[in-house]
Amino acid sequence: MPVQDFEQLFQDKIDNEIKIEPKDWMPEAYRKTNIRQISQHAHSEIVGMLPEGNWISRAPSLKRKAILLAKVQDEAGHGLYLYSAAETLGMPREEMINDLHSGKAKYSSIFNYPTLTWADIGAIGWLVDGAAIMNQVMLTRTSYGPYARAMVRICKEESFHQRQGFEILLVLSRGTTAQKAMCQDAINRWWWPALMMFGPKDSESTNSDQSMKWKIKRKTNDELRQNFVDMIAEQIKTLGMKLPDDQLKWNTERKHYDFGEIDWDEFWQVVKGNGPCNKQRLEARRKAWENGEWVREAAAAYARKRADRQKDKAA
Amino acid sequence: MNFIRKFYYGDIPDQKGSDEIKDAKNPLAGGRGAGHDWPLWEVFIRSKQGLDHKHAGSLHAADSQMAIENARDVYTRRMEGVSIWVVESKYIHASSPDEAASLYEPANDKVYRHPTFYDLPDEVNHM
């Protein structure tokens, strides 16, 4: 069969909402796009543990500490689900980790911002996880089966993350004057970076888009971002706080909130590696990998020894 | 067809990569002692007594015991399972999707295997 026919069959499947599975024929570009997107998503989960890990030892109570530990452990699990999904496309785990450590692979820029106060942990749960959930709920219907299944699992766990973040801020918002100020300060610092998580504006691309045609993505950046703004603009009323945007206003005609312009220079600077914590994050990952080498070696040696012992017993 | 790619959350194209860090020393050069020594395992989980084990996903581990312990941490953090099976991925043999048409062909023309094939009078119940 000529390649065009394979491509047509492939597109027919996509159009008919039939999922693509690992052994099915797929265009090389579809494979590559999925590998890049899934592995970057995995890296984001893993690097995402770092800003929050910063507060595990400084959480204000044992309860908060246990919750934060569980949340960070979830992020590690999400990273593993996603690495496994990318591996089904023929990408070795080692190569993905290698690409992260060398700086070749990217991860979500949001994790290059620092966590300065305890309220940041609340803001991350509410805003950063909230933005991620918008994207991830859409991805539960993505066309590549293993990615979609990983997303279903992840989404089940994410709602705890967002709720615990909102609750942290809710407690602060009802606290002392200093606690209220800390709450507002965290929202001020995380709001715009959270909006940037959805990526550049749709208008930057006028042609039809391959990721949408292949149903890897089902909503555009601007659609997702608008949904997010509409949701947060309502939720913040409960906190009695304000979003740092003078132009935020309900538009009765559009039935959506209007909002101000994102600082795209900052966005690209952080993507390019010039954010506040880019170097620190990568160094932490590399160090963790290097310091873990003896553990990996010991586990391999132990497995060999146990296998030998079983062989001896059998003999 | 000439598509312009858009950039999405979790998908930043390579060419937009960093100028700063790409020369960083490759920590995996040589790959000694890396996790890649560890084989891939498929994980099957019984969610409760009375149900089948169902494929949950895969992970890397040095041996079967470590695979079960990792599977517990990765796939059952919220009581999702009462029993775990792990099997090294290399031992899984799968049918080929390219041959699906001929493989399942024998079942194709046997509609009489389905109860709906039989027309019975309305007064016959519970059958």
Chosen from B1, B11, B15 to mutate, greatest number of chain A CBs within 10 A: B11
Average pLDDT over residues A254-274: 94
Among A83-97, A134-148, A267-281, B26-40, the least confident range? B26-40
Does the pLDDT value for residue B2 go beyond 80? Answer: no
Quote the pLDDT of residue A315.
Answer: 75
Average pLDDT over residues A242-258: 97
Quote the pLDDT of residue A202.
Answer: 85
Contacts of residue A227 in chain B, CB cutoff 8 Å?
none
End-to-end CA distance of chain B: 56
Residue A127 tokens, joined: 């805003």
Quote the pLDDT of residue B36.
Answer: 54
Average pLDDT over residues A76-97: 94
Q: Work out how many CB contacts closer than 8 A connect A with B.
A: 174
Contact B86, B44 (CB under 8 A): yes
Condensed to tens digits (0 to 9), the pLDDT of residues A153-197 reads 999 999 899 999 999 999 999 999 999 999 999 999 999 999 999
Band (pLDDT 50/70/90 cuts) for residue B21 is: very low
Quote the pLDDT of residue A91.
Answer: 93
User: How far is Cα A137 from Cα A144, in angstroms, rounded to an integer?
Assistant: 14
Quote the pLDDT of residue A4.
Answer: 74
Condensed to tens digits (0 to 9), the pLDDT of residues B27-84 reads 333 344 444 568 999 999 999 999 999 999 999 999 999 999 999 999 999 999 999 9
Q: Which of B6, B28, B78 sits opposite A94 (nearest CB)?
A: B28
User: What ipTM score was computed for the predicted complex, to two decimals?
Assistant: 0.85
User: How far is Cα A256 from Cα A252, in angstroms, rounded to an integer?
Assistant: 7
* Mean pLDDT of all residues belonging to chain A: 94
Three-state DSSP class for residue B87: strand
Chosen from A18, A30, A80 to mutate, greatest number of chain B CBs within 10 A: A80
User: How far is Cα A108 from Cα A197, in angstroms, rounded to an integer?
Assistant: 7
Does the pLDDT value for residue B11 go beyond 70? Answer: no
Distance from the Cα of A176 to chain B's closest Cα (Å) equals 35
Quote the pLDDT of residue A1.
Answer: 63
Residue A114's contacts (CB-CB under 8 Å, 6 or more residues apart) are A51, A120, A276, A277
Contact B38, B62 (CB under 8 A): yes
Does the pLDDT value for residue A30 go beyond 50? Answer: yes
Quote the pLDDT of residue B126.
Answer: 84
* Mean pLDDT of all residues belonging to chain B: 78
State which residue of chain A sits closest to B73, comparing Cα positions: A77
